[in-house]
Structure formats: structure tokens, C-alpha cells
Chain A
Amino acid sequence: MTASMQSSVGNPGAEKRGMNLTLRIWRQQGPTAKGKMVTYKITDISPDMSFLEMLDVLNEQLILQGDDPVAFDHDCREGICGMCGVMINGQAHGPQQTTTCQLHMRSFKDGDSIDIEPWRASPFPVIKDLAVDRRAFDRIIQAGGYISVPTGTAPDAHATPVPKADSDAAFDAATCIGCGACVAACPNASSMLFTAAKVTHLGLMPQGQPERNDRVVNMIAQQDREGFGGCTNIGECSAACPKGISMETISRLNHDLLGALRAGARPKS
């Protein structure tokens, strides 16, 4: 970092060159308004900017021009909250397997044209521009993605032993941040990978066992009620997932589901 700063400082004649980009962004005034792609030119973008910072620069320009800034979701900008996420050139979170906030402009070239669209799925209605309503995921969690524990003092950490392999696999599944990239990337707009990550995470832990059968049937019933598509094991979800949740979780969910149905578990209506 210092080296490049010194060179630009020590070389006042050298022109600071950023990227010039053409952005085609989905603009939609509100949930019921008709949207369309609008083209914007943006200049002098540093390759070290994050994708969201690039959108910030665009929005500053739009505000200065008296235009409506582009609405997009974001929060932590550290890749851990799951709030951000847009389709970038047809890929959820863009060309790198990470969150949109952790995608940097060095992944693009000067002169590139970038298409930016919201997640598209009927359970994720557009609120405005690139911001979508993902409360469908919250309702899937409410249907069974939790464990019921008595309140009181925290139990001893070693009171319930968990095999290392199980805790590792549970943790891998627990890294799901619920961003919705799986749904966005899926040709069927299925939320299977999200639900599977939650079912796997809790199903591998001893604490998750009492509600294991009810959890899977209720979460699947809720995901169907929300109107997500069905899983056909294409694998686009896992390839787009910023946390790399594996297809194995889907098999695990199906295994739990078949076991639960055999054991007589039925979804709450």
C-alpha cells in the first residue's frame, strides 16, 4: 500500500487511473411498479473498492444530479451478516464465490459492462431497485430452525460431549448467513440449500435431537408455503454460496425428512 502511495506522491505527473465502467441496473420504484434496466456510466473507479463502495460512488453522483439513488441492501460489509447480495452479470454475488460486499472491483476490467439485478424469486419480492424482502427465510426458521432450551444459567461447556467430526460438519452448515444467493442462483428458485444448512446444523448436535423430526417436516412445509421451487440437485446453489455450503446438506435433509415421515411426523398446519 505504502509503495503505491509513495509512487503516486513521488510522481506527480503520473496520472491516477481508475476504471471506467458501464452499469446496467434494475430500477423499480416500488413492489408493484414495473421495473427496467437503466444504463449508467461511472468513471475513475479504484480496483481496491468493494462492489458496494462502487455503488456508493454511483449513488453520490446520482444524488448530486438530483436523481434517485439506487436502493440496495447492505449492513456489516464484512461478509458475515448476509444482508447484501445482488445478481452481478448473471451470477449471485458476482464472479467470486463471496458476498457482494467482499467482491472487489479488481475482479473487473476497465471498460467492462456490468449488469446488476435483484434476487429473482416470487417469495423474495422486490422492495425497491435491488432490495428484496427476504422475510420468507425468517418464516422458514420460525417453522423449526431453532432448539427449545430451558432458560437458566449456561450449562458447562463439556456437559454434552459432541464428536469432533459432527461439530465440524455442524459448524460448516452453521456458517450459512441466509443471504439468499442459493435461491437467486437456482434455476428452480428453490431454497433447499438454505433449509438444508439449518437442518444439518441442528440435526448434527445433541441439542437438536428432540425436535429433529418435527423440524424438518415443518421447515419443508413452510418453504413450500412460501412458494419456493423444488430442488432438482443442479448444484448452482452450492457454487454460488459465499460460505460454500455443500450439496451434502441437501442429502442430509432428505434423509432426515424420509426418516421423520416414516416415524409419523407431520407438519403443523
Chain B
Amino acid sequence: MAVSGIVMVLYLIAHMIGNLKAFSGAESFNSYSAWIRTVGNPALPGQTTLWIIRIALLVAVVAHIWAAVSLWRQAKRARPERYVTKKAVAQSYASRTMRWGGVIILAFIIYHILDLTTGTVNPEGHDSTPYDRLVASFENPLVTAFYAISVILLGMHLRHGIWSATQTLGQSNRRREKTVSAFAFGFATLLTLGFLLVPLSVLFGLID
């Protein structure tokens, strides 16, 4: 969970920064999108770099889901009979929503790729520019709302995930606990805001 999670977090940082290109205009955004597809040229032909990243991400996603499902099943087997009354004392909302939140995030990622990468479900279709797809998609309040909910869930997922990964990798201790928690919260908040900025700007007409 921890290692595959870190791979995805590193990608998310790059993705979030790339998104902000939308503020410097259609041309800049589209040329950034084209650049991603040609990084490493001519040493590496075509979209080699992009596909390496995609495959690494796919492996990380599959490993993450496999680990999550194993833990989920293990937990179900370990407590077949549930408590009549159970009170949670320490668990945060973030930690409680890890599993179903993760499922919603997965559904969102699938939609997100079909919408903005392939254009399959985008109103502009697949032979449009990335910038046009971005604007067309987020002008719809429903799409923006789904995006916002998913990204906020992702933020909470990271808030618990970063802390949990630190524990799993054996890097936490009593002295660091507060710092790790504060970092997890700060990082998750920043990333969420960074991702929310572009779609909300489209919705409110700051980007068109």
C-alpha cells in the first residue's frame, strides 16, 4: 500500500502542477500536453516516456487495489461476527473513508481518463485540443461537482495515507508523529486546492 501509494503521490504532484498551466492560456496548455507526449525525443521515439509513466502508474494502481482488497478481506475474515454496539474513539473521518473513498476515486479516475485524455465522453469529442476538452467539461456544474467531491476524497485519502505509509515503512516515532501528521494534513490540503483551482476557474468563467 505504502510504496504503490508513494508512486501515485509523486505523479499527482506533477499532474497538479501541469494543470496550473491552464492559467497561462490555451496555447501554453496545449503545447505542454504535446510536450508530455514527446519528452525524450528523439533519443526515445514517440510516446515512450509517457508510456513508461503510464505503465508504472498502472502497476502502482493494480498493486494498491490488490493490497487494499487483501486487507479488506482479511479484516472481514478476522471479524465475521460484528459488534452489536461499537464506538469509534480515535479513527478520523479520513481513515474511515479509505476503502469506499478509494472505490469512488477509482471510478472517478476512469471517468476522468475517458473525459479528458481520450475525449470519449467529452462534449468536444476525441479530436479536440486538450484545452477545449478541459473547458467544455468543467463548464458543466455536475462534472465539476463530481470532480470536486473526488478530489476532496482524494485529499482525505492522502491525509490518512501519508501518515499510514510513514508507519508502514517504519519511519514514524513519538517525536516525529506530530510533524508527520501536520505534513500529511498540509500536503493533502495544498494538493486538493491545487486540483480544485482549475475546474472552479472554468466554472466561474475565469478560464474560457
Question: Residues of A at under 8 Å CB distance from B?
Answer: 24, 26, 37, 87, 89-91, 115, 117, 120-123, 185, 187-190, 227-236, 238-240, 246-248, 250-259
Contact = CB atoms under 8 A, between A and B. Distances in A.
B170 A232 contact: no
Contacts of B80: 122
A37 B90 CA distance: 26
A248 B91 contact: no
Contacts of A240: 89
B206 interface: no
Contacts of B75: 187-190, 229-230
Contacts, number: 112
A242 B98 CA distance: 27
B163 interface: yes
Nearest to A236: B90
B81 A239 contact: no
B166 interface: yes
Contacts of B70: 230
A188 B90 contact: no
B173 A252 contact: yes
Contacts of A115: 84-85
Given A188-B71, A188-B74, A233 B168 contact: yes
Interface residues of B, number: 34
A199 to B, nearest CB: 11
A120 B71 CA distance: 18
Contact of A122 (B78, B160, B164): B78
Contacts of B98: 232
Given A90-B87, A251-B172, A190 B167 contact: no
A91 B89 contact: yes
Contacts of A254: 167-170
Contacts of A233: 95, 160, 163-164, 167-168
A236 B168 contact: no
